[in-house]
Structure 1
Amino acid sequence: MAAGSAGCVESVADIIDSSTRIGWIGVSNYDTEPHRFEVQVERGGSTVHESSHGIRGKEDDMLFGEALECTWGDTEGTYRIRSRIDESEWVERSVADAIDGTVDCVTVRVSYGDLGDTLDVFIRENCDDVPTYDGGCAFANE
């Protein structure tokens, strides 16, 4: 069965999942060199968060990073996370493509150097552990 579209094409997972919230997003730099991380959060095709973060390089066993301010709020929707470091190519990940079915709340970690010389966006399927993180959205820290 084929369906026509007169505009933006979404994945099937994006269409099915429209009730997810993001409780926390953090950036981490595993590299020994400092990097500037840019992060964008889109909900339903509109940008709901945009920020830039200068993160120090890893020193010995000390890892540096920070949590993003929760400007996207507690609104449920179809989210995409975009990130890049040092004005490189954008890496994009759909929350709906990363989760298995419908999940109420996710956490996101954007990291560089954790798995080699790559920028990765990790999406976790729940917010149960958010209170152990610094920052995050108030609804996820209740």
Structure 2
Amino acid sequence: MQKRRNYELAMTLCDAHIPGITGVVSVLPKVVSADAWHSSENNGDARDFAGKWQNCDEREDQVINKRYQYPIQYGSYNTLLDWCYSWVNGCGAQAAQAFCVQEGYARQISFSGPRNITAGQKTRIISTREVCDQPSCGTFTQITCRNW
């Protein structure tokens, strides 16, 4: 149980991008090391429960991040994922969260946009699957999903 809590704390620090040393959790950019024991009990060594540094983007117990970058294809006929969950509602976070869930992930951890479409492009709204082909339609430039 302690190992799992340390890992969850370490991954929370990864999400927060907090560099430095916090108690028994050491954090550098993109890597963490957490220990179930105080470092004084380990001859001053900091280690995670596997005894090594953990890359924030790597798998551990099936934890994985997946980054989708523009163009984020959604649906058929080369449509892009629309910036909004429904027409002009739930734009950004709600649409990104729904996309991650549909892709088999538990949640979105970051997204960016919107980017207006260009002539000939179309977006597809995730909640209704309706297509938008107007210049005011927007899409994501990136979405990062995580399975926990």
TM-score by length of 2: 0.20
Task: Judging by fraction of residues, say which structure has more strand.
Answer: 1
Q: Which has the higher contact order (CA 8 A, sep 6+)?
A: 1
